[in-house]
Amino acid sequence: MARTAKKKPARPPKSSPRRQSLATKLAEAAWADADVSLAEALAELDFVISARSVTARRQGLLLLGQSLNRVARKRGLTRLGEVGKREAYDPERHDLSGSGATRTVRITARGVARGGEILVKLRAAPVARREKKQ
């Protein structure tokens, strides 16, 4: 009697959920979590747009900011700088509004980075000489 070879069960394709690595599953979970936070931010935006009072608008803007910061954090983004702070001008770091050469700038909007890479430069305005002396 001839022996029949046992067939090995077929391996699931690499794209199969059973074959995904733990890192891939964790990354997908993080993205899904960030997507929920982004959806919350969009809802907060609608609240801000439709707010009828200054108080409601301020409250909505605070909630919108919190939601966007949560999304950024979950996607590995960090904020750079502090609005209103003065810094030495660095063309690699600052997006200068206005014209003219300057040594010192005032931050008007924070930048965004992931790791060591600046994705969005800090927005900055030149500091006038008389403003520096104060």
* pLDDT for the residue 1: 53
pLDDT at 11 over 70: no
Secondary element (H or E) of residue 126: strand 122-126
78-134: which CATH topology? Nucleotide Exchange Factor Grpe; Chain A, domain 2 (2.30.22)
Tell which residue, 81, 120, 80, 87, has the closest CA to residue 102.
87
Cα pseudo-dihedral 56, 54, 68, 92, rounded to 10: -170
What residues does each domain of the chain span? Answer: 20-76, 78-134
* pLDDT for the residue 17: 59
pLDDT in tens, 70-85: 889 888 999 999 999 9
Tell me the CA distances in angstroms from 91 to 58, 83, 107, 114, 123, one per residue in order. Answer: 33, 17, 13, 19, 11
Are 101 and 128 contacting, i.e. CB atoms less than 8 angstroms apart? Answer: no
30 band by pLDDT with thresholds 50, 70 and 90? confident
